[in-house]
Amino acid sequence: MQEFDHIQSLWQSHSVEVKISSDEMLAQAKKEVKSISNRSILNIAGMATSFIAVGSLCLFIDFQSWTTYAGIMIVLLAIAALTIILAQGHRLISRNDFTTHPNEFLVSLKQYQLSRFSLYNKMYWIYAVALTLGVGLYLIEVVTYMALWAQILIVLFSFLWMIFCSTLVRKAVIKKDRERIALLIEKFERLGSQFKTQS
Amino acid sequence: MKEKDLLFKQIFDTNSKKIFHLCYGYTGDEDSANDLLQETFLKVWQNLDKFRNKSLISTWIYRIAVNTCLTYLRSEKRQAKDELTDNIIETRPEEFSEKNEQVALLYKSISQLEENDRLIITMVLDELPYHEIAEISGISEGNLRVKIHRIKLKLTELYNQHARI
């Protein structure tokens, strides 16, 4: 019968080797922190640029129909809403403190993940409907200035793109999110029961 | 070089081996342990300015490592724990010896404990003081003592079971 002391001496005799040096770790930490922050800022900058680009259509082109302006406004609102959500996400990343009490940390993480999941689910529809409506209204006037073949091509392309987004892409996104959240819930419930037995 | 850089390097050199051992005990796999080690020290770097000396820096780092391990998600790419531990034995025939076999059995036994218990016992095996483990894991010292006693018994039982096979 092996005793715990034997197990402990076995553990301590097993020397582990850290394969990364402090210099490499420092370089990597700096690079990663920069890349996480950069990616998040680039996303926001990309959305802001789209906002300016779409908005500038109103400034530089004199559209004749109200539908075009309505379409542009709807697209601008959708972009602005998503930009605000991305900015909030960026703020959360930069504020995140991993040193809190484990129980509170896990609870807050679970709440955060669940709220994000629900937000993205709702936002997907709002964003898809807004873009479809916006682009649809915008095209009513714009396509009239084009040749017939271009009109057909644009309408057909827009129609197929929207079907693609609302079927295949949507299904894939929801499936991925559902799996992710199910895994998280299962894990947190398991961990939660472990913590309950301790307190 | 900036003061923060020097401090980080000093912290890494002092604590990385113990944190790596903790992660290794939790995952039973060197590559995953290495990923967790890097993730932990990435968070240390990100939060170094927020450390307020309310506890020992090693306690603070352990707490980050424990949280990182607990939130470590198993993706489809990651194999089951038992398979990983078997790989440790199978892929290193040149290092085969009775001691290595015992070490592999120990990791296999640890991998069969509950996730939280795995982290607690690795800290016990590394002889961290109980009050520090209590602070890291957020459990009262009284409850922790009871829990550690139970985990020790369970680990010894698992180890003996494997050793008999």
List chain A domain ranges: 23-198
Facing A198 at nearest CB: one of B103, B125, B147: B147
> Distance between CA atoms of A66 and A59, rounded to whole angstroms?
14
> Distance between CA atoms of B122 and B25, rounded to whole angstroms?
6
pLDDT above 70 (res B67):
yes
* pLDDT per residue as tens digits for the range B78-96: 444 444 444 454 445 545 5
> Distance between CA atoms of A58 and B158, rounded to whole angstroms?
72
* pLDDT per residue as tens digits for the range A121-168: 777 778 778 888 888 888 888 888 888 898 889 888 888 887 887 778
* pLDDT per residue as tens digits for the range A47-88: 899 999 999 988 888 888 899 999 999 999 988 988 887 787
Name the residue type at position A17. Answer: E
Q: Using a CB–CB cutoff of 8 Å, tell me whether A35 touches chain B.
A: no
Q: Using a CB–CB cutoff of 8 Å, tell me whether A10 touches chain B.
A: yes
- Residue B152: partners with Cβ closer than 8 Å, 6 or more residues away: A4, B121, B124
**How much helix, strand and coil, in percent to the nearest 5, is found in chain A?**
85, 0, 15
Average the pLDDT over A20-35 and give the result. 80
Which residues on A lie below 8 Å from B117 (Cβ)?
194
Q: What ipTM describes this predicted complex?
A: 0.79
Interface of B with A in 96-135 (CB under 8 A): 99, 102-103, 106, 114-117, 122, 125-126
Angle subtended by helix axes B30-47 and B57-70, to nearest 10: 130
What is the rounded radius of gyration, in angstroms, for the C-alpha atoms of chain B? 17
A90-111 burial by CB neighbour count: b if 16+ within 10 A, else e?
beeeeeeebbbebbebbeebbe
Of B115, B117, B101, B123, residue with least CA distance to B155: B117
Residue scoring higher pLDDT (A16 or A187):
A16
Facing A7 at nearest CB: one of B60, B117, B159: B159
Domain carrying residue B49: 3-164
Which of A3, A4, A24 to probe by mutation at the B interface, max B CB count within 10 Å?
A: A4
Domain count, chain B: 1
* pLDDT per residue as tens digits for the range B131-156: 999 988 888 999 999 999 999 999 99
Determine the distance in angstroms separating the CA of A5 from the nearest CA of chain B, rounded to an integer: 9
Query: Which pLDDT score, from 0 to 100, does residue B146 have?
Result: 94
